[in-house]
Amino acid sequence: MLEAIFWIAAGLIVFTHLGYPLVLWLLVRLPGRRRAALARSDGGAEQLPDVSLIIAAYNEEAVIVEKVANTLLLDYPPERLGIVVASDGSTDRTAELARLAGAHLVLELPRFGKVAAQNAAAERARGSILVFSDANSVWERDALRRLVEPFADPEVGYACGQVRFTSASGDSLEGAYWRYEMAVRKLESRLGGITAGNGAIYAVRRDAYLWLPPSGSHDLSFPFELARRGLRSVYVPAARASEKMVPTLAGEFARKRRMMSGLWDIVVGERMISPRGYGPLFAFQIASHRLLRYLTPLLHLIVLGTNIALLGEGWVYAATLGIQAAVLAAAALARLAPLAPLRWARYYVLVTASIAAGLWDRFRRGPVGAWEHAEGTR
């Protein structure tokens, strides 16, 4: 029994990280598989929808002028674009500077959190497509046109673009991780739809917008909730944005820990875990890319515990325990000797641990709506 538990848990870890992308790659190449084609406009303004681009901001005076200017320079008809800045209880000059920079609507709101600010902005916005971006995201000039193209298909309810992370220090770990994630989402988009978005660049139909609680997350909730309403969520790699990367692994751990603190409410409270309403393919994607990924801290503990109990049952269990010990040792040594293999081990351990730490924070402090931007990303 212990051996079965060990190998099942170990297999699930390997599957969610490596096996799942391989299965997706094989599925999109099946004969007769319908290839999802994104509608493309010919550039005519009359074909483009009215858009409200919403920027939720908390104490963003360092970047809000540049963000509004970047938005005004997008290759999109100005009469069809409204810029809404929702200041979530900012105590600096965010709202004032957003107005001076040319934002069409600036909301000065009490501090209730990012999602609450987005809800308030969505209620006031007039566009048929609601587009969202972080205050520190810089969009390429054609990004908005590219992002709204899929909405020509009435079955598409949500679209997210490609975010690229830049770093003056040259630390490439988070950037490499996101390239892996974007490759997986490109495959998902051609099948049942993506299982998560990103906060830097995404859009949703106004009539499909979901009012989430302050502890919710558009990135995680919209794709699966819209799937239950018969709408697909797609990835648009041609719609590109960039953000500054968190400069340290410790800072990245803290950022992911804050993000993961809302997982319980999304997975259990919003019923991501329930298969009801999903098609079989999308249910497989949610289970493989979301639920198993969030279970990896527990799966690692199961693997470690059963591995220790199985010592003496054959050389293979001594070897697997040695591999686990080596990964943990490499993660610890990365702070002293920042060699690439050691840093990758530390990155993996911290990303996995952030899920467990976020869950701990959720039950210790309750649902958290307010947010702080990550140090070094402005």
The tokens for 331 are: 């993660």
Q: What amino acid occupies position 184? A: V
- pLDDT averages per 10-residue partition of the chain, 378 residues: 95 97 94 55 67 96 96 96 96 96 96 94 96 96 97 96 76 78 94 94 97 89 95 96 82 84 85 89 96 96 96 93 96 88 92 93 78 60
pLDDT of residue 194: 97
Q: Write out pLDDT tens, residues 236-267.
A: 999 999 998 777 777 788 888 888 888 888 99
Domain coordinates in residue numbering, the chain: 45-248
Q: What is the pLDDT of residue 166?
A: 79
| Tokens linked to 119 | 């809800």
The per-residue pLDDT for 269 is 80
Using alpha carbons, select from 89, 87, 88 the residue that is nearest to residue 98. 87
- Using a 10 angstrom Cβ sphere, with 0-12 exposed, 13-18 middle and 19 or more buried, the burial of residue 328 is middle
Q: How many residues does the chain have?
A: 378
* Domain range 45-248, CATH class: alpha beta
At 362 the pLDDT is 87
Side by side, the strands of the sheet bearing 51-57 are 105-109, 81-88, 51-57, 129-133, 202-205, 156-166, 232-244, 138-139
Q: Supply the pLDDT for residue 329.
A: 96
DSSP per residue, 187-220? HHHTTT--S---SSSEEEEGGG-----TT--HHH
